[in-house]
Amino acid sequence: MKMTPVCPFVKASRPDDASSRKPAENSSKHQVEHDGSKAKKESTDSGTISPKCPFGYDSQSFKLGPLSCVICQALLFDTSKCVPCSHVYCKACISRFKDCPLCGADIEKIEADTDLQNTVDRFIEGHARIKRPLVTSEKEEDVAGENKNVIYEDVSMERGAFLVQQAMRAFRAQNVESAKSRLSLCAEDIRGQIERLGNTSELCSQLGAVLGMLGDCCRAMGDASAAVAYFQESVDFLMKLPMDDLEITHTLSVSLNKIGDLKYYDGDLKAARSFYFRSLNVRRDAIKHRSNVPSQILDVAVSLAKVADVDRNIGSENVAVDGFQEAIKLLESLSLKPEEAGLEQRRHSVLEFLNSQLAEKQPDSTTT
C-alpha cells in the first residue's frame, strides 16, 4: 500500500508523473539572511526575516536531527528508550527489534521517554515560527523599550509542508500512527487557514490531498470504514469547488478511485463501479479542456481500465472489452517526449495490463 508521495504544499509532479516535477514555489522567501544590517533594513517593509530552522529541517533535503528516529527517519513519535543502552526511537519502530540498531545491545525492556516526547511536541508546535518586531519606521526603531507589534513568519518552510514531509517518511517506514498524527495536525492547520482566507484553490487542494493521505493511513491500519470516511470527506469537500484546477480534479478523482478500491476488495462491485465511473467522468471532463496534458490522458486510461475490470467481474464481458480497447487506443495515440521517462514507464505498465485483460476474453460471455 503506497501513500501518495507528493507534498500538496508545493507545485510538484503527481505520484505517477515524475518527469514533470517542478520546484517549490516562493522558495526564495525561505532563504537565510546572514547580513544582520540588511535584515534590519528589510524589516521596515515586512517586519520579518526567514532564517532556517535551527535543527536544519526543510522540505528539500534529508535531515536526521537530534529529535529524529534513526529507523523511520522522521521526528520521534511515542518516544521510547531502550534499556539498558538508553538509545531512543519511536515505539512502533523499536518494537520490531530485539537488540538496539545503534549499539547492538540486547534490549531488556522498552520505556516511554515522556520528557523527550514533550520536547518533540513543542518543537513541532512551534516549528517554522519566530517572533519578530514589526518596525514601521526608522524613528520608531530608535525608541528603546517601546512595545512593538509582533508577527509570525515561516522559517525554513511552511508548517504544512514540514508536517507532510515527516508523515511521508514515517508512512514509508510503516510507522503509520506517527504519519496519521502529523497529517491530523496538518489538516487542522489547513482548516484554520481556510477559515481565515477562504476556499482558495491552493488550500482546497492541500486539504483534499491530506484527507486522502489520512485515508491511506487508516487503510494501512486495517480500518477500512475510517479510510472510506476520510476519502469521502475529501470528495465531498472538493466537489463543492470549481473543476477548473488540475490539482483539484486529480485529487478528487484519486479519492473516488480509492473508495472504489475499498468497495471492490470488500466485494461490493456495484458500489465500486459507481465510484470508478465517477472518477472516470471527472477525468474525462478534465481532458476536454486540457487534451494536450499526457498525465491527464493516462489518468483517463487508468479509470477506463478500472471500470472495465469491474464490468468483467459482474459479467458484462462485451462492455468490459470495449472499455479495455478504448483505453488502449488512448495510450497508443499518446506522444511522449524523451524527457518524460516516468510517464512512458507508466504508459507501458498500463498497456501491459490492458493487453493481458484482452487476452483473457471469454468468447462465450454475453453482455448483461
The answer to whether the beta carbons of residues 207 and 190 sit under 8 Å apart is yes
What string of pLDDT tens digits covers the 368 residues of the chain?
444 434 444 433 333 333 333 333 333 333 323 333 343 343 334 444 444 566 667 656 666 778 899 999 999 999 999 999 999 999 999 999 999 999 999 999 999 999 999 999 988 887 655 444 444 444 444 444 455 554 444 443 467 888 898 999 999 999 999 999 999 999 998 888 888 888 777 788 888 889 999 999 999 999 999 999 999 999 988 887 777 777 788 889 999 999 999 999 999 999 999 999 999 999 998 888 777 788 888 999 999 999 999 999 999 999 999 999 999 999 988 888 887 788 888 888 999 999 998 887 655 544 43
Quick one: pLDDT at residue 322? 94
Residue 20 is given by DSSP the state G
Cβ(242)–Cβ(291) below 8 Å = no
Whole-number pLDDT of residue 41: 41
Nearest 5°: the CA angle 352, 353, 358 is 100
Q: Kindly report the length of the chain.
A: 368
d(CA 46, CA 23): 24
Q: Which residues are bridge partners to 82 per DSSP?
A: 110
Question: Would you state the pLDDT for residue 52?
Answer: 59
- What are the φ and ψ backbone dihedral angles of 325, each rounded to 5 degrees? -65, -40
Q: Find all residues with CB under 8 Å of 177, minimum gap 6, and list them.
A: 77, 78, 92, 221
pLDDT, residue 293, reads: 82
Residues 6+ positions from 62 with CB-CB distance below 8 Å: 73
For residue 291, the SS3 value is: coil
Q: Is the dihedral of CA 174, 180, 181, 183 positive or negative?
A: positive
Q: Report the SS3 class of residue 151.
A: strand
Supply the pTM of this predicted model: 0.71
- The pLDDT, as a whole number, for residue 128 is 53
Give φ, ψ of 235 to 5 degrees.
Answer: -65, -50
- Residue 49 makes CB contacts below 8 A (sequence gap 6+) with 33, 39, 42, 43, 132, 153
Distances (CA, A) of 146 to 62, 119, 320: 41, 32, 75
User: In angstroms, what CA-CA distances link 191 with 209, 214, 242, 300, 340?
Assistant: 13, 15, 19, 31, 35
4 touches 212 (CB < 8 A): yes
Q: Which domains does the chain have, with CATH numbers?
A: 291-356 (1.20.58)
